[in-house]
Copies of this chain bind each other. A is one copy, B any other.
């Protein structure tokens, strides 16, 4: 299983990397060109990603999405502590590798920024991270005998079983962390990043999940389809009989047949409510 995961990671990275470079089949010049990458563009996309994830039901009053800095890849950009639906470019804060604001006068960011910071440290392939309380996913974080598993062809980026991070695995040996459901320090963030490993998604018990991607559109699309996969798996399991999951061949094939991530991104943007 580990090897399948590793292969999946490698293929997935290749797939992501190819998105802009891939030669268009004849007669396809209409495929939207992604804008040139820059920190300005990443910040603009971060504002969009934040509003999209609210609109698609992934984020509520809490939760956050971040993006790695292109100029200084040990740093990342995060909105200040605020409802994600209301984020604008003025609310974005640059944090360093230790999740400390570069500008000492910067506004306060969310206490759980360590989820992002610790993942960026150990996953150089990751350019964007979503942490949400996506409701449809949480049931699978509290039922150890029923893991989240890929059933949807669109969710072939999921590992065979999505791992669940539980602070109890850390706090059992550290009385200072007992009962801490918030991942709001570096130790808990690093433990979560270890549970994620080379995967695309990790659940957080009774709390939510973290989803990573090679760009903001990838992380956003994965967060949305993780949620849809959870809903379908839940309904299928409720039928009380055998459920067919994606098999190893299918998980390996997924990044090869990778779909156009610009399509959900454009669609999600188009259905955003107009700004007030």
Contacts and interface: CB of A to CB of B under 8 A. Distances in A.
A246 interface: yes
Interface string A210-234: 0000000000000000001001101
Given A61-B263, A85-B267, A178-B249, A142 B236 contact: yes
A71 to B, nearest CB: 22
A266 B27 contact: no
A64 to B, nearest CB: 11
A267 B143 contact: no
A30 B259 contact: no
A95 to B, nearest CB: 11
Nearest to A32: B82
Copies in the complex: 4
Contact of A152 (B206, B234, B266): B206
B153 A181 contact: yes
B181 A107 contact: no
A107 B260 CA distance: 15
Given A108-B24, A244-B205, A180 B253 contact: yes
Contacts of A108: 24-25, 27-28, 30-31
A3 interface: no
B179 A253 contact: yes
Interface stretch (A121-129, A131-139, A194-202): A131-139
A271 B143 CA distance: 33
Interface size class of A (residues with CB under 8 A): 35 or more
A154 to B, nearest CB: 7
Interface string A49-62: 00000000000111
B82 A263 contact: yes
Interface of A: 24-31, 60-62, 80-83, 85-86, 101, 104-108, 133, 135-136, 138-139, 142-146, 151-154, 156, 171, 178-182, 184, 205-207, 228, 231-232, 234-254, 257, 259-260, 263-264, 266-268, 270-271
Which 8 A-B residue pairings sit nearest by Cβ, starting from the closest?
Answer: A179-B253, A28-B108, A179-B249, A83-B267, A153-B181, A61-B264, A139-B236, A61-B267
8 contacts: A31-B108, A62-B263, A83-B270, A86-B267, A133-B154, A143-B241, A205-B244, A238-B238
Given A145-B241, A184-B257, 18 more contacts: A24-B108, A26-B104, A27-B101, A27-B104, A61-B263, A83-B264, A86-B266, A135-B232, A138-B151, A138-B236, A142-B244, A142-B245, A143-B239, A143-B244, A146-B241, A178-B253, A181-B246, A234-B235
